[in-house]
Amino acid sequence: MNISIIGAGSWGTALAQVLLDNQHNVLIYDIDQQVVNEINTLHTNNTKLPNILLPESLVATTNLKELCDFSDIMLVSVPTKVMRVTLKSLNEYLSKPIILINTSKGIEPDTFKLVSEIAKEEIKDGYLKGFVALTGPSHAEEVILRLPTLITSASENIEHAKFIQSLFSNQSYFRVYTLTDLRGAELGGALKNIYAVAAGMIEGLGYGDNAKAALISRALVEMKRLAIAKGASDETLNGLTGLGDLVVTTTSHHSRNFQAGLKLAAGKDLEEAISSIPMVVEGARTALSAYIEAHRLDIRVPLIDAVYSVIYEKTPVEKAVEAMMGRTLKDEFN
């Protein structure tokens, strides 16, 4: 099959290789002409995936019309802050309805809208045939090395979820499950990035394994409170797109959200922390969305509060931890 990919970042490029390994044809689009030239001529994407030689069959373009003509199956992997404008820009060139596969993990701050909701608003009427979130514990740096990875194809339409499962699954390193709880998958994938920032902060302060384990288990409780209130199922949050993604991102130095947390703990402000990381850091923006929504709904989210106060109120990380530790004593689950 032909598949169009929007965003030749680390994740879009790694997923392109999975599709090529599975004998599909891929055209990948990026706004960055240099990245496109590098993929086409040197078969590398060194800023995003250093020291990796990409398949020569991977073709890149900056031409959106060419991308839209190539396939009606489109995968999008761009920072969520440019999601609206990116999806809107397709309308001029779409000549048939598309199945959109989203792999970006974030929530719009002012509206708390998920990418599935943004897509419904931005893709012109009658041209969004289906929406699938492909999400779960998956670092591009490992997928590009073809290391075993399990993720989830989530869609309200089970036939679409199964179709995308069949495109991406292979017997050697990429196994895809299906799920119909699309909201749960999108919420889990986005919220876990906030806790990755917190995990980096903890590491940066030199805290030990006790603190890391505490962070993961309390993050899951907190993430469930907010996600279930927003329509997710409890089961989804215990699965690959919730706990699975939370564990991988809070324990791995591959996570750029974790890296941002490390820099915040070292006293850098958000701009400094982010500017030294060559890939998108979604957790900071999602912390803002989640903070606003949790407080609007009166949901207790002390970890999100702490990350928010470090990033947006410039509270020193130690002070934010002190504030959490000093809270009124409580029952574990109530």
Q: CA-CA-CA-CA torsion for 281, 285, 286, 288, nearest 10 degrees?
A: 150
- CA 19/CA 28 separation, integer angstroms: 11
Nearer to ligand NAD, 104 or 233 (CB): 104
Among 20, 24, 25, 32, binds ligand NAD (CB under 6 A): 32
Site string for ligand NAD, 68-87 (x = CB under 6 A): ---------xxxx-x---x-
Among 5, 17, 28, 30, binds ligand NAD (CB under 6 A): 30
For the segment 116-155, give every residue that binds ligand NAD (CB under 6 A): 138-140
What residues act catalytically? 192
Site string for ligand NAD, 170-209 (x = CB under 6 A): ----------------------------------------
Among 17, 61, 71, 104, binds ligand NAD (CB under 6 A): 104
Say whether residue 12 binds ligand NAD (CB under 6 A).
yes
Say whether residue 282 binds ligand NAD (CB under 6 A).
yes
Nearer to ligand NAD, 106 or 320 (CB): 106
Q: Nearest 5°: phi and psi at 169?
A: -70, 140
Nearer to ligand NAD, 10 or 153 (CB): 10
Say whether residue 106 binds ligand NAD (CB under 6 A).
yes
Number of residues binding to ligand NAD, judged by CB under 6 A? 28
- CA 143/CA 167 separation, integer angstroms: 16
Closest separation in Å from C-beta 324 to ligand NAD: 26
Nearer to ligand NAD, 111 or 327 (CB): 111
Say whether residue 233 binds ligand NAD (CB under 6 A).
no
Closest separation in Å from C-beta 227 to ligand NAD: 17
Give the interface with ligand NAD as residue ranges (CB under 6 A): 6-12, 30-32, 35, 48, 77-80, 82, 86, 103-106, 138-140, 279-280, 282
